[in-house]
A and B are shown apart, each in its own frame.
Chain A
């Protein structure tokens, strides 16, 4: 046991150390700032417009790259042995099916309800009565 730990300690110092930490910090901050910038820009776009969807797509790509930097560098996975990385990453590919199948299912469910259940569509088109001022901030 002692032998294993000693050899672990020796081989653990791969990766760039402090410099790499600061580099990844800057990358993560820049990516977050970009996401926020896109989020602010999106507010002025019409609801359900093409450019809005495009911006959402870009934000999702930025999100995935942030995840890559956190897992790869902060969690050190990029510097682990390839077989170890594969035991973590390969199961995650299940998400590809998971996301596509379920979002498509939700979408078709909405379409079916709007097509076949007239009442449902009409109910969801009712305007919400606007609250009178001062009714907020009240504990129930």
Chain B
């Protein structure tokens, strides 16, 4: 176990104090700082929502899904949420295969993760297009408040900014995963002797899933 490291030998040097590779530690600190960016955006959203009289009903705004039309609140966004969770699972499995130095397994699960990310991005593109066609955009809000009163544009401004920023993270995550896939196929990690790079990409991908947990709850549920 890692806890055996807490001996005075810890101070003698020649030992990695966090037992993590440099790049992984730095990825963690990047993700922590990124969580403050997202946290600040979501808290700004919460503050504005508390400061605004009335708010649109998310069950009315987000009640459409492709092929089945309107009147189905939460259906499409639950699909998106599950897609992202499952793609996170396939990413863990890719990391797991990387530990075992099994190149074929890594390739298989990376491809599944990329497909999950692309489905999520496609769903978001569909949803944005649909909302745009209903008249919603930055600075425009066609949806009334719960009680039918005139709403402000705070709702759409924050929705497009925050889901857009998250979608941008998903997009970069997919790009990173594709680069990882190419490197795996070329055998770069086999030559290097470890698949630590997949773990770093995995950390980023899980973070994207983690942020969606918060965005999904704050915009669609609460």
Which residues of A approach B to under 8 Å, CB–CB? 4-5, 7-9, 11-14, 17-18, 21, 25, 28-29, 32, 35-36, 38-40, 42-43, 47, 56, 59-60, 63, 66-67, 70-71, 74-76, 79-84, 87-88, 91-92, 94-95, 98-99, 102-103, 105-107, 109-110, 113-114, 120-121, 123-128, 131, 136-140
Which residues of B approach A to under 8 Å, CB–CB? 1-3, 5, 15-21, 25, 28-29, 32, 35-36, 39-40, 43-44, 46-54, 59, 73-74, 78, 81-82, 85-86, 88-89, 91-93, 96, 99, 132-135, 142, 144-151, 193-194, 196, 199, 202-203, 206-207, 209-210, 213-214, 217, 220-222
B25 touches A84 (CB 8 A): yes
A63 touches B213 (CB 8 A): yes
A128 touches B18 (CB 8 A): no
Other than the known A110-B52, A113-B51, A128-B149, what 15 A-B pairs have Cβ atoms closer than 8 Å?
Answer: A4-B16, A12-B99, A17-B96, A18-B96, A35-B221, A39-B74, A47-B147, A60-B222, A67-B214, A75-B203, A81-B2, A81-B17, A98-B40, A127-B148, A139-B132
> What is the minimal beta-carbon distance from A69 to any residue of chain B, in angstroms?
10
> What is the minimal beta-carbon distance from B75 to any residue of chain A, in angstroms?
9
B217 touches A110 (CB 8 A): no
B16 touches A7 (CB 8 A): yes
Complex interface: chain B residues within 8 A of A14 (CB):
1-2
| Bound: A139/B210 CA distance, A | 34
B32 touches A92 (CB 8 A): yes
| Bound: A120/B150 CA distance, A | 12
* Chain B, Cβ-Cβ closest to A70: B210
Which of B18, B35, B78 is the one whose CB lies under 8 Å from A81?
B18
Interface residue SS majority, chain A: helix
Which of A39, A84, A98, A109 is the one whose CB lies under 8 Å from B51?
A109
Interface residue SS majority, chain B: helix
Complex interface: chain A residues within 8 A of B51 (CB):
106-107, 109-110, 113
Complex interface: chain A residues within 8 A of B28 (CB):
84, 88
* Chain A, Cβ-Cβ closest to B133: A137
B81 touches A32 (CB 8 A): yes
Closest 6 CB pairs of A and B: A106-B50, A106-B47, A124-B53, A128-B144, A106-B51, A84-B18
| Given known A-B contacts A5-B21, A11-B2, A124 and B54 have beta carbons under 8 A apart | yes
| Bound: A40/B75 CA distance, A | 10
